[in-house]
Amino acid sequence: MRELWPRRLGRELTVLRSGWRVGVSWSMRITVAAVAGYVVARLLFPDTQPLVASLTAMLVVQVTPVSLLASGLDRVVAVVTGVALAVVFASVVPLEWWSLGLLIFVSMGVGQALRLRDNLIEVPISAMLVLGVGALGAGSAAWERIVETLVGAAVGVVTSLLFPPKVATGSAAKAIDGLADSMSELVNHAAARLAELVEEGGEIAPSARRWVEEARRITHDEVPRAGSALDHAEQGRRFNVRAVGTPDLGPGLRQGLEALEHCAVAIRSMFRALADATSEQAPNADGAVSDLLLGLAQTFREVAAGIDAFGQLVRNDASPTAKLSAEDVLALQAALEGLQEARARLEDLLMVEPTPELRELEAVVLSTVRRLLREMDLQQRVRRQLQLGRPVRPRTPYLSRPAAPGAPKATPSRSPSTPPSPTSSPTSPLEASPDAETQRLPAQRDQRRKKPSS
């Protein structure tokens, strides 16, 4: 996989150059909060160096307003708990190695019982700092630390409210497009290398195993990274004044990430099937097998083109000022047409494979192509965006499916197993509400005719 490292490094450098402004803005928010916490605490305790207030403000100022509220409250509870434990220990036992270990153990247990999450470690830290003062000064040290913590938490909350973070929709779109680039580069590299090995008569299985490992890395590392960026962008809109009046682009990004995740798993299975089919294949294959493998290389190129076009469309569609570009749609449609031709070609070749292993390989590649066509279909993208944009409603239980919490009970006027009529639903699954904010394709009418009632 040495050929992929230069391109991957170049992509990371591009992301670093394009995101330096966000890093500078985030550093400024942290600096302002820390300095403000120190100044305010110094006014209350002139003869001290209230670095605890600065540290609290730095930890409370999170990247999203939602996590800020929870983090500030959890940190205050953690500090108060740690200080209370330290005061009790300082009045009972001296500071020795065994008392320190016991204090840390008890503090961690109490923090876990209080479910303090990321601020769990603050309980033993506060206890150790106060215990170090000793039994005589533990009361004053505890009081000062509690007040400094409250000041730092308040300054952190006020700083985030006055200087809210930017909604990271653009960063999430770049992360999803980067995931698509990684997938398309891998499949393109596999197509070129497979064609070279077939022409040179080399072994394909070792290279196929490396492609499987790279596909596994993408599904284990890059897919969760893009998911974290999207979660961060979705949380950044809540309680953020900078998100007021801006369109909610989360459903479009969520659909793109889900589609690429499913495609990544299918591609990994495709490479695994290629490695299994060629593990016992002779290096110098006959003409029919060579033609088959060259056809697979062409299919890989069409798969890579489709993923690249889909990732570009998702990224451009997520721009707050952009509309659905005709060029992006045409590029994706052209890539989908190539995949449809590949599907037809694979269906024809599936009936004339020389060996069961190659026949199974053709079936797996055909399943992968069908999966990509289904996930990247524009109408499917519209339907999924509408589902993600609507609030989840509890479903009526039927047969063996249990009722969801708060779900309405089935009425005897209609059988639970009978689906509702299309005309009885308030909105069609392809029709957008008037106040919908996510960019979507034009709605289409449902052309199905109702069955005559008996």
DSSP summary character for residue 454: -
Q: What pLDDT sits at residue 447?
A: 45
What pLDDT is stored for residue 304 in this prediction? 93
In the prediction, which pLDDT does 446 show? 47
H helical segments located in 136-286: 138-162, 169-200, 205-217, 223-237, 250-278
- Spans in the chain with pLDDT lower than 70: 1-23, 59-60, 62-72, 130, 132-142, 164-168, 238-247, 281-287, 319-325, 352-355, 357, 390-454
**What is residue 203's predicted lDDT score, i.e. its pLDDT?**
86
How far apart are alpha carbons 169 and 320 in whole angstroms?
A: 9
- For the beta carbon of residue 314, count every other beta carbon within 10 angstroms: 26
CA distance 322 to 451: 42
Q: What is the pLDDT of residue 58?
A: 76
* The pLDDT of residue 435: 40
**Residue 441 vs residues 313, 374, 378, 381, 432: alpha-carbon distances, Å:** 12, 17, 8, 9, 10
pLDDT of residue 277: 87
3-state secondary structure of 372: helix
Q: Return the pLDDT at 426.
A: 39
Q: Give the SS3 label for residue 430.
A: coil
E strands, 32-97, in order: none
- Tell me what pLDDT residue 27 has: 79
The predicted-structure confidence for 229-251, as pLDDT tens digits, reads as follows 888 777 777 666 666 666 677 78
Looking at residue 166, the DSSP 8-state letter turns out to be P
- Of 253, 255, 185, 172, the residue nearest 217 (C-alpha): 185
Q: Which two tokens stand for residue 135?
A: 């039994």
User: Any idea how long the chain is?
Assistant: 454
% of the chain at pLDDT higher than 70: 67
**Tokens standing for 416?**
């639970």
* Single-letter amino acid, residue 286: D
pTM for the structure as a whole: 0.62
pLDDT value for 18: 54
Measured CA to CA, the distance from residue 76 to residue 370 in angstroms comes to 53
Q: How far apart are CA 57 and CA 34, in angstroms?
A: 5
> Residue 317: what pLDDT?
81
